[in-house]
Amino acid sequence: MREVRLVTAHPIEENHRHWWLVSGKWRRLHAVPAVAISPEQMRTAVDDARLLPARPACGMRRRWTMPGLFSRLGRRRCTPCCEALGIEPGYGTPANEASRKDPTT
């Protein structure tokens, strides 16, 4: 299940220990610290189709949910969130972006 792991929005190491989430209205991927939402909270919220209140790295106060597969692959990351984490702005979750880079180049 390696590919599933690589496109995940979960706060794994490749995602800089942040959830990469979207709000109902704003379509960028924002970085919510792993400690802000437990995996149990996220699973319950997804099951109930609820949004979770949390504060991403950029400080925007909204309610968040897991992005769909295509969002994880292609949505633009919030620039202030990326700056707060010290990573380059780009598209998709950092884990997904890393998986697309050819390690031999």
Q: Is 30 in the site for Zn ion (CB under 5 A)?
A: yes
CB of 31 to Zn ion, least distance (A): 6
CB of 47 to Zn ion, least distance (A): 25
Q: Is 94 in the site for Zn ion (CB under 5 A)?
A: no
Provide the 10 A C-beta neighbour count for residue 17.
14
Q: Is 16 in the site for Zn ion (CB under 5 A)?
A: no
Which of positions 44-83 make contact with Zn ion (CB under 5 A)? Answer: 56, 58, 78, 81
What are the residues whose beta carbons fall under 8 Å from the beta carbon of 29, sequence distance 6 or more?
9, 20, 21, 22, 67, 71, 72, 75, 76, 77, 78, 81, 92, 93
CA distance 69 to 63: 19
Chain residues in the site for Zn ion (CB under 5 A): 30, 56, 58, 78, 81
